[in-house]
Structure 1
């Protein structure tokens, strides 16, 4: 259930944000957009965004994501079981290979990567339940292909995806042995919300309409429809009676429950991209208009995303720093915002670490997905995050040490003022400036390390100093442990 409060803080509307001298288009806002709509961005991308108007910047992000082709299929992407030589060994190799490829995509694809991952936590499957690399790839391909497309057609594709048919028992749902699992989740989690707009009779009859997808030519191949296991009897769904099949069900669902679907999905967009808190203002002035935009555009999602992300509401000060980063938010955003060296092995370690701290790629805890926000943080997961970030810092240090100081030079225009360097680096990673000057003073002291004060006083210390790389690493380690670093 979404959190509700009675007094809203963000009163800005869906009117497009236009910069003013009091409300400028600046690095803080660009970083905000990249952290919510992607997984952070390097300084070059931030600078490029600042040269555009906010509207043009959002258009460029959304359009690029919408037009980006899916990641090419691996050789094994459509294997059947018989195509494997040694299934147990090769399947494990391919699962890890595709996890690393997915992490690479999330790092590099900006908004499309963000949305593909968002949908993986909406149309949930659990890898451990099907544990088959070709289905893993095919499911991911579907998430990429539809990430910014038509939501109705996305739903249509999800129900007959091989991984989903196995995970939610569609493969077992026949005219003689009906299984209601997918029908229930289709309404409760994927389109309408728990208890909204459907009855048990709707679930029962929807499950009958979903029958027939119980056949493959080879084990592990594509699951397809065959009329021999389809329930061809009359069914009543949302008050409509007929000999409904799969496509009929989807069409009736979206025709009879358009408002409920659009409201449910736009609410999820809001809590994911803007704020985990919904109040009466955001419900009436933001979510409802977004839902109407979705309906007016026949469930195309691009107009909805552009309306939301261009808005004053999205860029309002009260929208900054109110969402707790997920494990993948934390590490992938940091990687993009630093640009330090990493290798395929680094991504394998990240896959392992993120699992340890609560976010295993392709394997949410159950069909309702990760619940996010405060659920990400406890004493164990927090220290695990710190260890992951330190690991990445040291990978950069050990492989290309100068990356560290080059990063600091780039952000600070090669300053030799430790206070300026510390503040600039701290601000680079934060959703908002820190509360007090003391917080920056502490960071400055960390950066100064054991270098005698006279070298700072006479200006001889700089980022080419023999210990400067280590000092920047110490500052970065300090930054990643700040509570504010966990927010976006």
Structure 2
């Protein structure tokens, strides 16, 4: 976790947000919640949230997500190598099928999809490194099961997950051939944070405690513990000496380094869900208090999530529109907020385009994961974002969904025939903040008006029922994708 010197400017605390005349519960705050905690919400979902209190709404989002059952296992989810009849072909097909299932989950499961994606970028694996579709599923399944559970249990489970044992060389870590890879990442990335109160000696001895998970009955089967390859000698980890094994290592880690773990994880949650900027105020008044809750609740995640998301800090005006959208934020939120069509063919296109602009499901760039925020944007990825939305809009237009666009504009504008008002309502539906200048709205309105003669607008002849209206909406939406404010959530 990085503490930055630039202040976040958000001086609100973790005091629960209670709407008032001066700080009302608004559609803007509902959209903020759905964009951060899910991948957007439909107009109906937003209206339903407005009828609840913020406290009720957060309970609904979190509890609904936490109570979802895991996505059912595919028929090949626990295959060994010998269960395949044509490994190369079937393994690739399975990989693509599960990437598609995952993309469906992200867009449809609301907060469970969002938090699952967060943990996949915390407990990182890279498919290209292990290349085995059943392990791909088993890793995803473990993330779903533990996403809202107990973090200590999560760390324990992920360390002996087949995928992680292969990816970070635990399968190769034996008493005669030690490998420090997982021990190092366990401390540096998964629990404590880089150089945060551990030593090289702690890593060496932790790697010895991690030995023994080196056997399977056949390649691709369940990896299991075997005492023959376990280092049973005494080890000193964080000042504690004994013949520690895996279970004891996790216990010692959480007993001896609780403040470091709690601060690191709460800091990552904060940077992902609230703001990438952590200054002294945020560290002292937000993260440290969340960390204490985490410890007091014995590592259960839900109390921490609810404390943060119900707070005045989360709903402060200065928390809106300060995070750059990821590629999946760009397209998933757009689809959900407009309630536009998506199907497997569309999602396959999204997976492809998202990969081109920096986010391939199951394949972050390295073990540290996507660094997010400003790293999403460069000369090529920015134009790729524009092209992604254009691809999607024109796909709908050319495949019989053209009047969806006019219907959407009619709903958000209350069937207005004022092009300036329609433009403003569409832009504000998809953005967290107003555009920078009034002229930005004027330019967008001119694009929306297209080639329709001005007198048709002046005399009220034109309406969203015109045949040209769907195309006009598309022109505006394609322009919207290029507006800087659209890139923020």
Task: Confirm or deny: 8 A CA contact 1:427 1:433 kept in the other structure.
Answer: yes
The whole-number CA distance in structure 2 between the counterparts of 1:76 and 1:337 is 35
| More divergent stretch after superposition (177-186 vs 411-420) | 411-420
Give the Å deviation of 1:459: 1.1
Which digits, 9 at most, give the CA deviation of each residue in 1:425-479, with x for residues without a partner? 0001101122322221111111111101111111111111010000000000011
Indicate if the aligned counterparts of 1:6 and 1:280 stay in contact, CA closer than 8 A: no
Question: Equivalents in 2 of 1:444, 1:170: separation in Å?
Answer: 58
Q: TM-score scaled to structure 1, two decimals?
A: 0.99
- What TM-score comes out, normalization by structure 2 length? 0.98
SS at match of 1:241: strand
Matched with 2:188 is 188
- Quote the offset at 1:34 in angstroms: 0.7
Q: Are 2:480 and 1:479 equivalent residues in the alignment?
A: yes
Check whether the contact 1:342–1:395 (CA below 8 A) recurs between aligned residues.
Answer: no
Per the TM alignment, residue 3 of structure 1 is displaced from its structure 2 partner at its CA by 5.0
1:8 offset after TM fit, Å? 4.3
1:88 aligned to 2:88?
yes
CA distance in 1, matches of 2:343, 2:66: 28
Secondary structure (helix, strand or coil) at the match of 1:19 reads coil
Partner of 1:427: 428
User: Aligned equivalents of 1:138 and 1:401: distance in 2?
Assistant: 40
Distance 2:198 2:376 in 1: 32
Given that residues 7 and 278 in structure 2 are in contact (C-alpha distance below 8 angstroms), is that contact kept between their aligned partners in structure 1? no
Match of 1:357 in 2: 357
Counterparts of 2:172 and 2:58, CA distance in 1: 44
| Residue 151 (str. 1) matches residue 190 (str. 2) | no
Q: How many Å separate the matches in 2 of 1:311 and 1:215?
A: 48
Q: CA deviation at 1:257?
A: 0.6
Query: Cα deviation per residue 1:361-400 (whole Å; 9 max; x = unaligned)?
Result: 1011111111111111011000011111101111221221
Q: CA deviation at 1:2?
A: 2.0
Q: Determine the structure 1 residue equivalent to 2:306.
A: 306
Change (3 A) 1:396 1:207: same
Q: How many angstroms apart in 2 are the aligned matches of 1:390 and 1:23? A: 37
Q: Distance in 2 between matches of 1:396 and 1:33?
A: 28
Aligned match of 1:340 = 340
Mapping of residues 38-57 of structure 1, within 5 Å: 38-57=38-57
User: Paired residue for 1:208?
Assistant: 208
Instruction: Map Cα deviations across residues 214-250 of structure 1 (whole Å, 9 max, x no partner).
Output: 0111111111111111111111111111111101100
Question: 1:467 — aligned with what?
Answer: 468
User: How many residues were matched structurally?
Assistant: 488
Say whether 1:404 aligns with 2:393. Answer: no
Q: Map 1:32-43 onto structure 2 (within 5 A).
A: 32-43=32-43
Q: How does 1:446-457 map to 2 (within 5 A)?
A: 446-457=447-458
SS of equivalent to 2:393? helix
Conserved? CA contact 2:7–2:277, under 8 Å? no
Structure 1 Cα separation of the partners of residues 85 and 241 of structure 2: 49
Gaps of 5+ in 2: none
Check the 8 A contact 2:25/2:50 in 1, yes or no.
Answer: yes
For residues 375 and 31 of structure 2, the distance between their equivalents in structure 1, rounded to whole angstroms, comes to 24
| Deviation (angstroms), 1:340 | 1.7
Residues 14 and 308 in structure 1, CA contact (< 8 A), matched pair in contact too: yes
After TM superposition, give the deviation of residue 420 of structure 1 in Å. Answer: 1.1
| d(CA) in 2 for partners of 1:435, 1:384 | 23
Alpha-carbon separation, structure 2, partners of 1:226 and 1:8? 50
Looking at structure 2, the residues matched to 245 and 412 of structure 1 have their Cα atoms a distance apart, in angstroms, of 63
Give the gaps of 5 or more residues in structure 1: none
In structure 2, do the counterparts of structure 1 residues 123 and 414 end up closer, same or farther at CA, with 3 Å as the change threshold?
same
Partner of 1:103: 103
Residues 78-103 of structure 1 show CA distances to partners (whole Å, capped at 9, x for unaligned) of 11111111110011111000001000
After TM superposition, list the pairs within 5 Å mapping 1:314-325 onto structure 2: 314-325=314-325
Equivalent residue number for residue 446 of structure 2: 445
Q: How far apart are the structure 2 equivalents of 1:90 and 1:255?
A: 45
Q: Give the CA deviation at 1:7.
A: 3.9
Q: Find the residue that maps to 2:115 and give its secondary structure.
A: helix
CA distance in structure 1 between the partners assigned to 2:216 and 2:244 by the alignment: 23
For residues 3 and 445 of structure 1, the distance between their equivalents in structure 2, rounded to whole angstroms, comes to 44
What does 1:103-252 correspond to in 2, within 5 Å?
103-252=103-252
1:422/1:444 contact within 8 Å kept? yes
Equivalent residue, structure 1, for 2:76: 76
Conserved in 1, the CA contact under 8 Å of 2:6 and 2:277?
A: no
- 3-state DSSP of counterpart to 1:16: coil
SS in 2 for 1:481: coil
CA deviation after TM superposition for structure 1 residue 6, in Å = 5.1
